[in-house]
Amino acid sequence: MLKKVFKKMDFVLLILVLLLFAIGITALYSASGGIEGDVSEVTKQLAWFAVGIILMLFVMMIDYDIIGKFWIPLYAIIIILLVLVLFTEPINGARSWFTIKQISIQPSEFAKIVMILGLAKIIDYYKKKGTLNKISSLAIILLFIAVPLLLIIKQPDYGTAMVLLTIAIVMIFVAGIKARYMISATIFAAISLPLVYYFVLPQHAKDRILVFLNPQIDPRGKGYNVIQSKLAVGSGELWGMGLFNGNQTQLGILPMKTTDFIYSVISEEMGFIISVLVVVLFVCLIIRMIQIAKTSKDFFGTLICIGVATMFFAHFTENIGMTMGLLPITGIPLPFISYGGSSMLTNLIALGLVLNVAARRQKILFLE
Q: What is the pLDDT of residues 147-176, one digit of tens each?
A: 999 999 999 898 999 999 999 999 999 999
Residues sharing a CB contact under 8 Å with residue 128, sequence separation 6 or more, in sequence order:
none
The model's confidence at residue 1, banded by pLDDT at 50, 70 and 90, is low
Point out the least confidently predicted range of 99-103, 233-237, 285-289, 298-302: 99-103
pLDDT recorded at residue 2: 59
322 neighbors 330 (Cβ within 8 angstroms): yes
Which residues face 103 on adjacent strands?
Answer: 100
The model's confidence at residue 223, banded by pLDDT at 50, 70 and 90, is confident
> Which is nearest to 245 in space by CA: 233, 236, 255?
236
Beta carbons within 10 angstroms of residue 298's beta carbon: 14
The model's confidence at residue 364, banded by pLDDT at 50, 70 and 90, is very low
Rg, C-alpha atoms of the chain:
21
As a whole number, the mean pLDDT across the chain is 90
Query: What's the whole-model pTM score?
Result: 0.93
> Which is nearest to 20 in space by CA: 286, 308, 292?
286
> Which is nearest to 278 in space by CA: 226, 317, 230?
317
Average pLDDT over residues 221-248: 90
The model's confidence at residue 367, banded by pLDDT at 50, 70 and 90, is very low
Give Cα 323 distance to the centre of its chain. 16
pLDDT recorded at residue 330: 85
> Which is nearest to 325 in space by CA: 231, 222, 226?
226
DSSP label of 62? B
pLDDT greater than 80 at residue 199: no
pLDDT recorded at residue 365: 41
Percent of the chain with pLDDT over 90: 68
Beta carbons within 10 angstroms of residue 326's beta carbon: 13
Q: Tell me the one-letter amino acid at 212.
A: F
Q: Give CA–CA dist 116/305, Å, rounded.
A: 9
pLDDT recorded at residue 281: 98
The model's confidence at residue 219, banded by pLDDT at 50, 70 and 90, is confident
Stronger pLDDT, 200 or 42, i.e. the higher one: 42
> Which is nearest to 258 in space by CA: 18, 30, 3?
30
Give me the residue spans of the domains in the chain.
2-359
Burial of 234-258, coded b for 16+ CB within 10 Å and e otherwise, reads ebbeeebbebeebebbbeeebbbbb
Which residues face 91 on adjacent strands?
Answer: 94
Q: What is the pLDDT of residues 246-296, one digit of tens each?
A: 999 898 898 889 999 999 999 999 999 999 999 999 999 999 999 999 999
pLDDT recorded at residue 341: 92
Alpha helix segments (H runs only) across 176-213:
179-199, 203-213
The model's confidence at residue 366, banded by pLDDT at 50, 70 and 90, is very low
Point out the least confidently predicted range of 62-66, 96-100, 278-282, 354-358: 96-100
Point out the least confidently predicted range of 96-105, 151-160, 304-313, 341-350: 96-105
The model's confidence at residue 357, banded by pLDDT at 50, 70 and 90, is very high
Beta carbons within 10 angstroms of residue 194's beta carbon: 9
pLDDT recorded at residue 30: 94
Average pLDDT over residues 190-219: 80
DSSP label of 245? -
